[in-house]
């Protein structure tokens, strides 16, 4: 016959594949429980049983183990259904708390089991499919859990029911478990540390292979090398086995890309002031003190709570939320002197959205001033404070501390000069915007000047707001100073236009004032090289003197002052010319 | 001992051994397998040695301590040669007389001879004893002639001559042909033709192949393999070497239960001796054929007798079966071609090579050839190891060899095939013992356990016993076997406790279908047999338990009660004294009474009463 017929569909037999694999390729659904693509078929749960007919002989085999030999296979025959029903009924007795089994059984019309519950079994969700044990040993290479005992006394446990040293709480066991029967905390004494999602502000976990955030560019998954078991021990490689197009490449490395460019737009963004620094608000000590970005994720439909506002500590819906503006901003004594500019508006938005999500919720906003510089911003603020009735309390919060399962917030209302005490469920801090972490290192490499708060300095605050003082470098967004999205977009558009303007010229224009070196006087001491902020000087090995790159030189004159031998002068602005100008001014 | 490097050397060596033994005209044999030893055979052996020394007979008399005699019922057994005098149930006190009178003077001690329980006749030699008369002892025939710890003994009786024969004149393909023609089928239970298995393994692709011996005999009441290993380990080893040569394997394993210490000891010793003699290891007998065997001791899991579980266990993994759609002869141990045969199968091989396939194929039936060893136990008069030609009827085995049922009770059923087998009722005792007939009757040949039951055995209780055994021995890998057997056992327990429901029988049959059809391995697939076969032949007993709340055999405690018949009771007080629960009250010489609230139904009063005053109902 040399044909394999599955549920009437003819296909070519392939002894290197199993009936399950071929059936799935054909789009035929066969239920499985103990099967996982990255593991050798085990054939234990028996739920994938199919009827095979070969040479007129009908037999029942598990599709996950049976080779795709020639013959006929029926995946839903009467016998198959009878056996699956019976097995599911046995499983319902074995694992009465496994919701997944209840659902699968219900699909087969098995609502109640005729078998008696397995009282002595410890784990009421486990169906002994062995996926956890096998993934830990065969795939991860640890072998931290195994089966104890034989037969009906079987249970999954670490060896000798004590915590295993080799367990890394990687969570593979819990991941593959089809019935949610694995409690990592019960299996190991090591702290279970889920990999926290940076994008979700640590409010949710994420897998090792992940897309860093929605709309990431490029929008493809990355492997988190720091946590990936393969990069730690050489084990796992599950992602490779499940990836259909075989796109997983463990050899990929971070690369340094060199490009010749004509202009650079510096848009390194911002970070928020590390919350750990804000001791009086209890961040780090109390899980229910969060920042605005975290609250933003809680409101998001694609966030960790699917848009339901739930507090991190116990998942309860917070009924009283205190928003603290200027957490670290406008506080020159302790934190940042500058205004973070965006907090007033986003806090107003948060309070509004919170009220809409939690109808019986009560937000409070502590503020110093409400700054609504922007089109329609003031109107929005009025809507929140007056129409929606969100109480705005003018004053600062002095202390946050726990009180039962609440957070006691102490503050002052400076308009009434009264002490305010609020028992809150959640405290949201509008933390100060600061230049992004590590940006200072980049700025010093690029030799870009910053202000006292670490934001980039523009060439001229009024006339050249998107350019740096160094030609060819442009600024965009919060790298230059706190700003919101519309402003950032506007500034970035400006910077882009400047770049286009630069590139559209046939010749590059440059101020005529540049440094020159009198070769006869230069001793080659190189002092000028170290003081030049623009890298415009280089040492000529042959002649033993320093030369000036006139294109890079901005004519600042630092070298002129530094040169001990007086060999450096500014072209078109020599000392003599300056003297003459002074004289002319004085009318001598 | 120098290595024997050629076939000629082995022949010379054999003659030398025989020559040194010519001086000893007489021989006294004290049989001592594990069973014999447990009944004191070692003390007897010591006593005989001391007595021979005392009397200064060492030069003239050979003292031999071979393995099992087979007739467990009458152990320890002493046999004197050349007269072939057979003394059963010997005590150490008998030894001085046996040595002084029988050995020295040649006088037969009548009172020590075996007396047949059926006819009452006294038998001088073993051949006269009915237990042996209907047997055809091919595999067990040499058990009296060799000390299992002596390779020289084995060589002296012609051991390793089959190996010589194949290495010198038979090609591997011819060996397989001989085995195929002989009709030998696997003795482990499945009955797969051995020659075909060897051929498939030989033809399977792979440089490295394995030869395996399954000595994980786990059936309750079965001990054929143990006795062979204890009594004649070299015959098994010789079979394995021949098999390896035929298949093209150079490595072998024997998987033997740790609970068989004597078997392990004897087989390991046999391996050492064979290696010393050059019969095992590199360049066997100068033939350039290399083969060695390792001993792997099992932890006692019944499931490890299943081929793939056994292999997993050798690999160091938990003893769990795996799917074997691709046979183990192609992908077995470490995914390499492996030929696994049972102890008894291997032991048959040298016999077939030596005596020819046509001799072998004359024994037995059309489809089942040769002899088969059974351990005949239970309620028969003569319990023991029985080697019979295939095709002998169950009645012959139980009544002619086994001497019928003890204490004049009535036969009820015989359980064959171990826990996965089934029971066969009296109406089928005419069945010939062969693979097909037993399977057809709902039981199976299995590895050779044969448990005889009488009217005092409750068939529901028997089914419960075996299901309980299997439930404990299920590896737990697959759901139907692990979970199904627990549920099945619970229902059987209910029935025996008088809590059975009418729908239970249907429930059992349906669950049996699930376990049989859904399980991964043969342990699960056959696990329902005890229930199915008892239901098939003894449904009435189930119904009596469920409908009438009655155990016809008087076994199930919840369904029976003991009471004292006042008319018969003499008030002797024996029951009163023996009752462990003080449940019997009464004054001396006045009828006693059982307090049923205290009675635990242990049955001691029933057993001890000399006047049949205690009634069981």
pLDDT digits (tens, 9 = 90+) for A472-511: 899 999 999 999 999 999 999 999 999 999 999 998 888 8
Are A54 and A164 part of one and the same domain? Answer: no
| Residue B573, pLDDT score | 86
Helix (H, G, I), strand (E, B) or coil at A397: strand
Residues B116 and B210 in one domain: no
Confidence of residue A467 (pLDDT cuts 50, 70, 90): very high
Residues A419 and A286 in one domain: yes
A372 with A292, same domain?
A: yes
The confidence score (pLDDT) of residue A397 equals 93
3-state SS class at B50: helix
pLDDT score, position A277: 65
Q: Does A128 touch chain B (CB under 8 A)?
A: yes
Q: Is residue B8 part of a domain?
A: no
Question: What are the tens digits of pLDDT across the range A216-239?
Answer: 989 999 999 998 989 988 889 989
A572 lies in a domain? yes
Bridge partners, residue A539, by sequence: A546
Residue bearing the bigger pLDDT, A575 or A455 = A455
Q: Measuring CA to CA, which residue among B492, B484, B479 is closest to residue B511?
A: B484
Judgement on whether residues A502 and A521 belong to the same structural domain of the protein: no
CA distance A162 to chain B (A): 20
pLDDT tens-digit readout, B401-449: 999 999 899 999 999 988 888 999 999 999 999 999 998 988 888 888 9
Whether residue B30 is contained in a domain is answered as yes
Residue B366: pLDDT over 60: yes
Higher model confidence: residue A533 or residue B323? B323
What is the predicted pLDDT for the residue at B59? Answer: 86
* Residue B488 included in any domain: yes
Q: Which residue has the tokens 């470490």?
A: B334
Backbone angles phi, psi at B467, to 5 degrees: -65, -35
pLDDT value for B279? 95
The tokens for B327 are 């046979």
| Nearest partner of B614 among B577, B551, B561, judged by Cα | B561
SS3 content of chain B, % helix, strand, coil (to 5): 45, 15, 40
Q: What is the mean pLDDT of residues B453-471?
A: 95
**Which of A10-14, A153-157, A275-279, A348-352 bottoms out in mean pLDDT, i.e. has the lowest?**
A275-279
pLDDT tens per residue, range A166-201:
898 888 999 999 999 999 888 888 888 788 999 999
Residue ending a domain, choose from B491, B512, B546: B546
A187, A216, A235 - which closes a domain? A187
Is B144 inside any structural domain? no
Look at residues B360, B393, B420 and tell me which one is the last residue of a structural domain. Answer: B360
Q: Which of A358-362, B470-474, B510-514, B564-568 has the lowest mean pLDDT?
A: B564-568
CA distance linking residue B579 with residue B614, whole number of Å: 12
Among B500, B520, B546, the domain boundary falls at B546
Whether residue B298 lies inside any domain: the answer is yes
Distance CA B229, CA B233 (A): 5
> A114 — contact with chain B (CB < 8 Å)?
yes
B204-247: per-residue pLDDT in tens?
Answer: 999 999 999 999 998 888 999 999 999 999 999 999 999 999 99
pLDDT attached to residue B560: 87
Q: Are residues B319 and B437 in the same domain?
A: no
B476 touches chain A (CB under 8 A): yes
Closest CA to A453 of A473, A479, A474: A479
B340 and B396 in one domain?
Answer: no
Measured between its terminal Cα atoms, the distance across chain B in Å is 69
**Under an 8 A CB cutoff, do B476 and A43 touch?**
no
- Tokens (6 digits) for B539: 């449904």
Residues B52 and B30 in one domain: yes
And the tokens for B525?
A: 């697939």
CATH code at position A174: 3.30.70.20
- The pLDDT tens digits of the residues spanning A122-135 come to 999 999 999 999 99
pLDDT bin (cut points 50, 70, 90) of residue B497 is: very high
CA angle A148, A152, A153 (to 5 degrees): 35
Same domain, A501 and A555: no
Q: What is the pLDDT of residue A87?
A: 97
Tell whether A236 is covered by a domain: no
Query: Which residue carries 């969060």 as its tokens?
Result: A290
Indicate whether A396 belongs to any domain: yes
Q: Is residue B354 located within the same domain as residue B478?
A: no
Say how far apart CA A169 and CA A186 lie, in whole Å: 11
Do residue B100 and residue B37 come from a single domain? yes
Cα–Cα distance, B323 to B519 (Å, whole number)? 10
Inter-chain CB proximity B482 and A151 less than 8 Å: yes
A448 and A380, same domain (yes or no): yes
* Structural domain span for residue B380: 371-454
CB B559 within 8 A of CB B496: yes
What percent of chain B lies above the pLDDT cut of 70?
100
Q: Which of A83, A86, A116 has the CB atom closest to B490's CB atom?
A: A116
For A465-519, give the DSSP string.
TTB-SSTTEEE-GGGTS---HHHHHHHHHHHHHHHHHHHH-SS----S--EEE-T
Sort residue A414 into left (φ over 0), alpha (ψ -120 to 50) or beta. alpha
* Residue B6 domain flag: no
**Among A378, A376, A327, which Cα is nearest to A486's?**
A376
| CATH code of the domain in which A464 resides | 3.50.50.60
Which residues of A are less than 8 Å from B480 in CB distance?
46, 86-87, 90
Phi–psi pair at B342, nearest 5 degrees: -75, 160
pTM here is 0.82
List, for residues B303-322, the tens digit of each pLDDT value.
Answer: 999 999 999 999 999 999 99
- Please indicate, yes or no, whether residues B587 and B531 belong to a single structural domain of this protein: no
pLDDT of residue A275: 67
| Confidence band of B1 (pLDDT split at 50, 70, 90) | low
Q: Inter-chain contact A46–B479, Cβ cutoff 8 Å? A: yes
Q: Which residue of B has its CA nearest to A154?
A: B476
- Do B443 and B466 lie in one domain? The reply is no
**Domain for residue A155, yes or no?**
yes
Spatial separation of the C-alpha atoms in residues B536 and B443, rounded to whole Å: 11
pLDDT score at A574: 85
The whole-number average pLDDT for the span B486-503 is: 95
A11 falls within a domain? yes
Please provide the DSSP assignment of B221-289 as one string. Answer: T--HHHHHHHH-HHHHHHHHHHHHHHHT--EEEEEEETT-HHHHHHHHHHHHHHHHHTSSBSSGGGSS-
> Same structural domain for residues B89 and B106?
yes
What is the distance in angstroms between the Cα of A59 and the nearest Cα belonging to chain B?
8
Beta strands in A21-93 (DSSP E): 49-54, 57-62, 67-68, 71-74
Shortest Cα–Cα distance, A299 to chain B (Å) = 45
A287 vs B425: CA distance, rounded Å: 74
What are the angstrom distances between the C-alpha of B545 and each of B400, B464, B505?
Answer: 34, 13, 11
Residues in B closer than 8 angstroms to A78, CB to CB, are none
Give the tens place of pLDDT for each residue, A244-263. Answer: 899 999 999 889 999 999 99
Rounded-to-integer distance, Cα B299 and Cα B309, Å: 12
Angle between helices B161-169 and B7-20 (to 10 degrees): 160
Q: Based on DSSP, count helices (H) and strands (E) in chain B, helices before strands.
A: 24, 19
B491 and B600 housed in the same domain:
no
CA nearest to A116 within chain B: B487
Alpha-carbon span B282 to B271, nearest angstrom: 13
Q: Do A44 and B485 touch (CB under 8 A)?
A: no
Same domain, A485 and A421: yes
* A495, A472 contact by CB (below 8 A): no
Find the domain containing A172 and state its range: 131-187
For B507, the closest chain A residue by CA position comes to: A114
Q: Is A434 exposed, middle or buried (0-12, 13-18, 19+ CB in 10 A)?
A: buried
CATH code assigned at B380: 3.10.20.600
Q: What is the mean pLDDT of residues B363-375?
A: 94
Number of domains into which chain B is organized: 5
Structure tokens at B489: 């056992």
The pLDDT value given to residue A1: 54
User: pLDDT tens-digit profile of B2-58?
Assistant: 788 888 889 899 999 988 887 778 999 999 999 899 999 999 999 999 999 999 888
Q: Is residue A222 part of a domain?
A: no
A314 and A429 fall within a common domain: yes
Question: Is A241 part of any domain?
Answer: no
Domain annotation covers residue A145: yes
State the average pLDDT over residues B276-290.
94
Percent of chain B at pLDDT exceeding 90: 76
- Regarding whether A491 and A437 lie in a shared domain, the answer is yes
Distance from CA of B496 to the nearest CA of A (A): 17
Q: Are A274 and A349 in a shared domain?
A: yes
Question: To the nearest whole number, what is the mean pLDDT of chain A?
Answer: 92
Which runs of consecutive H residues, i.e. helices, occur in A358-436?
A: 377-382
Q: Does residue B322 sit within a domain? A: yes
Indicate the pLDDT class of residue B167, thresholds 50, 70 and 90: very high
Q: Please indicate, yes or no, whether residues A347 and A431 belong to a single structural domain of this protein.
A: yes
Are B182 and B280 found together in one domain? Answer: yes
Q: Are residues B199 and B304 in the same domain?
A: yes
A301 and A270: one domain? yes
- Three-state secondary structure call for residue B545: helix
Q: How far, in Å, CA of B56 to CA of B49, rounded?
A: 10
What pLDDT, on a 0 to 100 scale, did the predictor assign at position A401? 94
Q: B516: closest CA among B448, B458, B470?
A: B470
Contacts of A41 in chain B (CB under 8 A): 323
Angstrom distance (rounded) from CA A136 to CA A445: 46
Number of domains, chain A: 4
How does pLDDT run across A510-562, given as a tens digit for each residue? 888 999 999 999 999 999 999 998 889 999 999 999 999 988 898 888 999 99
- Closest C-alpha to B280, from B269, B270, B289, B291: B291
Selected residues 133-152 of chain A with any CB under 8 Å from a CB in chain B: 146-147, 149-152
């Amino acid at each position: 016959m040399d044909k394999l017929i599955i549920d009437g569909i003819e296909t070519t037999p392939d002894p290197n594949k199993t009936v399950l694999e071929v059936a799935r390729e054909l789009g035929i659904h066969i239920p499985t429980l103990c099967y996982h693509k990255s593991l050798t078929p085990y054939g234990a749960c028996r739920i994938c049983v199919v009827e095979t007919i070969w040479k007129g002989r009908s037999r029942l085999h598990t599709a996950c183990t049976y080779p795709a030999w020639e013959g006929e296979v029926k995946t839903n025959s009467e016998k198959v259904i009878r056996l699956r029903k019976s097995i599911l009924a046995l499983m319902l007795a074995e694992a009465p708390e496994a919701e997944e089994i209840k659902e699968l059984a219900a699909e087969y019309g098995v609502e109640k089991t005729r078998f008696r519950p397995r009282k002595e079994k410890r784990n009421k969700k486990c169906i002994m499919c062995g996926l956890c044990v096998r993934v830990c040993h065969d795939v991860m290479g640890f072998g931290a859990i195994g089966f104890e005992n034989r037969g009906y006394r079987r249970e999954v446990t670490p060896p000798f029911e004590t915590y295993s040293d080799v367990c890394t709480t990687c969570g593979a066991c819990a991941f593959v478990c089809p019935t949610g029967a694995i409690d990592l905390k019960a299996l190991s004494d090591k702290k279970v540390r889920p990999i926290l999602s940076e994008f979700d502000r640590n409010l949710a976990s994420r897998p090792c292979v992940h897309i860093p955030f929605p709309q990431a560019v490029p929008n493809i998954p990355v492997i988190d090398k720091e946590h990936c078991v393969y990069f730690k021990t050489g084990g796992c490689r599950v992602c490779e086995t499940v990836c259909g197009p075989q796109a997983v490449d463990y050899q990929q490395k971070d690369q340094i890309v060199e490009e010749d460019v004509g202009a650079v737009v510096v848009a390194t963004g911002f970070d928020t002031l590390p919350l750990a620094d804000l001791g009086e608000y209890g961040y780090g000590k109390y899980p229910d003190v969060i920042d605005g970005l975290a609250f933003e994720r809680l409101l998001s439909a694609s966030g960790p709570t699917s848009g339901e506002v739930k507090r991190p500590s116990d998942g309860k819906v917070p009924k009283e939320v205190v928003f603290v503006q200027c957490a670290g901003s406008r506080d020159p004594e302790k934190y940042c002197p500058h205004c973070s500019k965006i907090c007033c508006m986003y806090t107003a938005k948060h309070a509004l959205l919170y009220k809409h999500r939690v109808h019986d919720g009560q937000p409070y906003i502590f503020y110093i001033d409400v700054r609504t510089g922007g089109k329609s911003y003031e109107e929005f603020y009025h809507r929140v404070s007056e129409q929606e009735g969100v109480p705005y309390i003018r004053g600062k919060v002095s202390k946050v501390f726990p009180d039962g399962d609440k957070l006691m917030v102490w503050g002052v209302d400076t308009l009434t000069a009264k002490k305010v005490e609020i028992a809150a469920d959640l405290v949201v801090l509008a933390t100060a915007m600061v230049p992004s972490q590590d940006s200072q290192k980049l700025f010093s490499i690029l030799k870009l000047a910053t202000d006292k708060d670490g934001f980039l300095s523009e060439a001229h605050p009024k006339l050249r707001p998107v350019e740096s003082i160094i030609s060819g470098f442009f600024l965009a967004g919060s790298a230059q100073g706190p700003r919101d999205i519309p402003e950032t977009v506007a500034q970035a558009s400006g910077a882009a236009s400047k770049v286009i303007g630069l590139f559209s010229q046939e010749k590059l224009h440059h101020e005529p004032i540049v440094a020159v070196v009198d070769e006869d006087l230069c001793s080659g001491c190189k002092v000028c090289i170290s003081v030049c902020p623009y890298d415009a000087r280089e040492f000529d090995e042959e002649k033993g003197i320093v030369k000036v790159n006139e294109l890079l030189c901005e004519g600042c004159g630092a070298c002129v002052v530094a040169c001990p031998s007086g060999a450096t002068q500014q072209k078109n602005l020599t000392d003599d010319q300056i003297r003459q100008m002074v004289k002319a001014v004085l009318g001598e | 001992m120098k290595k024997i490097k050629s076939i000629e050397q082995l022949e010379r060596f054999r003659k030398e051994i025989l020559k040194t033994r010519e001086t000893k005209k007489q021989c006294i044999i004290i049989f001592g397998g594990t069973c014999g030893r447990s009944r004191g055979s070692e003390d007897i052996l010591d006593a005989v040695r001391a007595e021979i020394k005392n009397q200064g007979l060492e030069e003239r008399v050979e003292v031999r301590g071979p393995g099992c005699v087979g007739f467990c019922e009458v152990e320890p057994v002493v046999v004197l040669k050349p007269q072939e005098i057979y003394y059963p149930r010997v005590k150490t006190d008998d030894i001085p007389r046996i040595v002084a009178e029988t050995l020295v003077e040649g006088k037969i001690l009548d009172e020590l001879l075996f007396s047949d329980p059926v006819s009452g006749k006294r038998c001088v030699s073993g051949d006269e004893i009915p237990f042996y008369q209907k047997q055809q002892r091919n595999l067990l025939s040499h058990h009296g002639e060799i000390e299992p710890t002596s390779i020289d003994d084995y060589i002296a009786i012609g051991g390793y001559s089959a190996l010589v024969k194949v290495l010198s004149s038979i090609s591997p393909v011819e060996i397989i042909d001989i085995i195929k023609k002989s009709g030998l089928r696997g003795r482990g239970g499945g009955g797969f033709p051995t020659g075909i298995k060897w051929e498939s393994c030989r033809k399977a692709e792979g440089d490295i192949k394995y030869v395996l011996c399954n000595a994980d005999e786990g059936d309750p009441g079965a001990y054929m393999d143990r006795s062979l290993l204890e009594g004649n380990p070299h015959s098994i080893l010789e079979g394995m070497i021949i098999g390896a040569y035929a298949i093209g394997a150079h490595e072998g394993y024997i998987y033997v239960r740790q609970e068989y210490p004597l078997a392990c000891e004897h087989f390991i010793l046999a391996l050492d001796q064979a290696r010393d003699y050059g019969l095992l290891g590199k360049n066997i007998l100068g033939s350039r054929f290399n083969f060695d065997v390792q001993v792997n001791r099992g932890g006692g899991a019944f499931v490890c007798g299943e081929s793939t579980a056994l292999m997993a266990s050798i690999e160091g993994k938990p003893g769990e079966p795996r799917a074997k759609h691709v046979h183990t002869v192609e992908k077995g141990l470490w995914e390499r071609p492996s030929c696994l045969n049972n102890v008894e199968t291997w032991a048959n091989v040298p016999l077939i090579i030596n005596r020819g396939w046509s001799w072998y194929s004359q024994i037995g039936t059309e489809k089942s050839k040769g002899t088969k060893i059974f351990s005949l136990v239970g309620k028969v008069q003569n319990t023991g190891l029985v080697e019979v030609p295939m095709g002998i009827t169950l009645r012959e085995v139980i009544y002619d060899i086994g001497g019928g049922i003890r204490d004049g009770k009535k036969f009820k059923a015989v359980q064959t095939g171990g826990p996965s087998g089934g029971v066969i009722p009296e109406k089928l005792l005419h069945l010939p013992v062969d693979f097909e007939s037993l399977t057809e009757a709902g039981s199976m040949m299995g590895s050779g356990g044969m448990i005889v039951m009488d009217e005092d055995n409750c068939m529901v209780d028997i089914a419960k016993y075996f299901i309980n055994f299997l439930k404990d021995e299920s590896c737990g890998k697959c759901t139907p076997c692990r979970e199904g057997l627990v549920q099945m056992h619970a229902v059987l327990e209910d029935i025996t406790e008088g809590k059975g429901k009418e729908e239970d029988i249907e429930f059992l049959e349906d669950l049996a279908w699930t376990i049989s059809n859904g399980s991964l391995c043969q342990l699960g697939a056959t696990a329902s047999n005890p229930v199915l076969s008892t239901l098939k032949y003894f449904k009435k007993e189930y119904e009596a338990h469920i409908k009438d709340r009655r155990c016809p055999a008087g076994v199930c405690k919840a369904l029976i009660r003991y009471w004292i018949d006042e008319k018969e009771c003499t008030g002797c007080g024996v029951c009163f004294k023996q009752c462990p629960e003080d449940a019997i009250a009464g004054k001396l010489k006045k009828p006693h009474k059982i307090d049923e609230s205290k009675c635990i139904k242990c049955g001691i009063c029933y057993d001890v009463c000399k006047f049949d005053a205690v009634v069981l109902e």
